Amino acid sequence: MECARFMANPVGRGVRIAAGIALIASGLFAAFGFATVVLVAVGAVAFLAGAVNFCLLAPLLHAPNGISRWRVGAESPG
User: Which position has the higher pLDDT, 65 or 16?
Assistant: 16
Between CA 34 and CA 55 the distance in angstroms is: 26
pLDDT at 75: 52
pLDDT at 74: 52
Q: Please give the average per-residue pLDDT across 3-26, as a whole number.
A: 86
pTM of the model: 0.71
% of residues, the chain, pLDDT over 70: 77
User: Which position has the higher pLDDT, 77 or 26?
Assistant: 26
A 10 A CB-CB count for 27 gives 20
Residue 50 near residue 67, CB atoms below 8 Å: no
